[in-house]
Structure 1
Amino acid sequence: MTDETHLSILRRMSGGGDLVVDDSPLTSSRAMRLALAKSANDAVGLILTVNTVTDDILQLDEMLNTIDDTLMLVGVNRNDRLIGVVALDMQLRAAILEMQLMGTLIPREAEQRAPTVTDKTMCGPMLAMLLSSLPGAMPAEEFAGWADNVHADALIESRREVGLMLDDCTYRVLRMNVDLGIADRQSVLTLALPCVSTEEEHATIPPEPVDWSTAFQAAVEDAPASLDALLHRFKMSLGSAQDLEVGQLIPLHGCTVGSVRLLALDGQVVANAKLGQVGGMRAVRIESEITQPMADLNGLPCRSGVAPEPSQGVPKIENAMTADRLPAADTVLNETATVEAGALENS
């Protein structure tokens, strides 16, 4: 492309050859076309034409659907805070590199590859000029404050990182389809920045009064608590514990379904309960007090070594069998064992 061709294109873009004054208002689409074309030409000498500009208001998830990982994603910050993203496709990146390295465009499309830090560095001057020119180029009524004090930041590796780093708010997304002017090479540049909040949205809402006592109590009551349901507890010697076998029955003296205790982690009894089931699963019901277990009176020791007096309601029977006249327990057991053994042999 000769110098005369460059001058002719620039003259048509600037309207230098027209005698009729264009009184049409400066729209966002036209302003973006001029800003991108001027930035590319001033930064790297790239002559391009912006065919179409789409202006959309999108939520974060919708905005992320307009970009993909094949694009070079560069963060946009304001006051050292990441607020938006600018995305360049492979063809536009290649055109900027070709103009800086060779001074002309290759008459064929560039092969797709992943963006690199070198690509971001080479595209940095054009992006810096574009972002700095937006505040003065865009219509003040519609874009007031939208692109003020924005700068290109670091390279972002993926669309997923963009979604994690940006705020979940409404974004104004400008998408420009660009004609590079040679071999039908087309490219795309996308700029997404948060929408400017209205004064009503910025209005300070006075905080509601907080009852700290109630709030603190509610926070404490929401804390998790673990309780253990204790059915029975007894002592056992170490030797007995070592002799335990599978299938062995261990008597729980005085234990009933109504003797369950709910214990805190420190062992403190929180409540008394009764063992049962709900819906086929074990459950406990809170009780006012532990049900007193029934005990065998004959097995209770005599207090102060005094034998209990016989009941007055039971008549005394002469020649009744007393304890001293009963056969020894060992004799009864031995006879029973002998009979059972004989029965087994006969069978």
Structure 2
Amino acid sequence: MSDPKQRSVLSRIVAAHLRGGTDVAALEPGLQTGLTRAIRRASLPYAVLAPQVEDAAVTSGASLQDALDTMPEQGLTAAVEDAEGRRGLVALDHPLVDALIEVQATGEVEKTNHPARKVTRIDEALCRDFLDLVLAAFAQETAGQAGRDWPDRMRYGSIITERAQLNLLMPERGYRVLRTSVTMGGHKTGDLVLVLPSDPAIARRGGSVEQPSAPAEAPKGWGDRMLGAISTAPMALDAVLMRTIMPLGKVEDLAQGDLVPFDHNDLSAISLEDEIGHVFARGALGQVSGRRAVRFGDGEGAQPAPAKPPSLVSGPAEAPAAARPPQNGTPPTPAKPGPAPVPPQKPAAAPAAFDPDAPMGDFDPDAPMGGFDPDAPMEEFDPNAAIG
């Protein structure tokens, strides 16, 4: 152990060095206001706390022993630390510990003051979030203060159960001590103490080492490199010759050798589409070097290709479905295609443009539906019967 007299001399040297580096009187108002506002902000998640905070007593250039003498005899004492390992202390008097436990356990602060007891790990867990909120809010409140010589962000470390450990844990240097009286919930009153390490080097640099980093700018050419990486990804495309609409019965009757006719105009309306039907280009079907090829036009089209009017499969002519009366209330069975398909004799003329205002001819929306009786009894339904 070192000689107490020698440590006292060292403390005075450190304190004198600290006083020469900063204007103590100019810092005190900012520290007092910062701690008061920090406690109130940290209490917001605990609605019923409504803390009443007195002006903090600020001690600048305190030695380690002077700082330890300000700590409450009972309650929670914990170490705090910044990113570079500078250590400080935070302490809650036992009535404040009880208030934080009660408000989280029962939703209110009890009027009765309980006798002091040893703080457990569970007590620490219930107080830790509040103390870390105080430290974070204090850092924000004092971040822009001129002449600041303490780290701007101290973080909660761990509880210190034996006060004798403080002399071994904390280095001998200058400290700023903030002590204030807080009343929580209108019933529990105790001291909150914050001990901050003083470092003249921080004041000479104009603030804390921890400066908020500016958003990193995107490197030059980033967009081109990203586009180059994406452009190598595979993409499935389909060259669509035509689209047609058929009755379900026709589709089910399709067999090998049946023909689906199309005209010459379809050869000039090829579309290049992706899997969801988005059209990337349009072109015409032709040949090059004896092989089929598609020549794309000016790339018009960003809409799905329109469906063509209904087209019938070539085969023997049959009566329209509406002309065949239903038998026994069951739908008619489509006729089977003939043995040999009949190829189209000549290309059909292009369909006329659709006019939504054209007269509808002899169409009568009130005409009977060909003998269909919706009230007729349904015959026994067989779900396994063949369709068609």
Compute the TM-score of the two structures, normalised by the length of structure 2. 0.42
Of Structure 1 and Structure 2, the greater helix share is in 1
Compute the TM-score of the two structures, normalised by the length of structure 1. 0.47
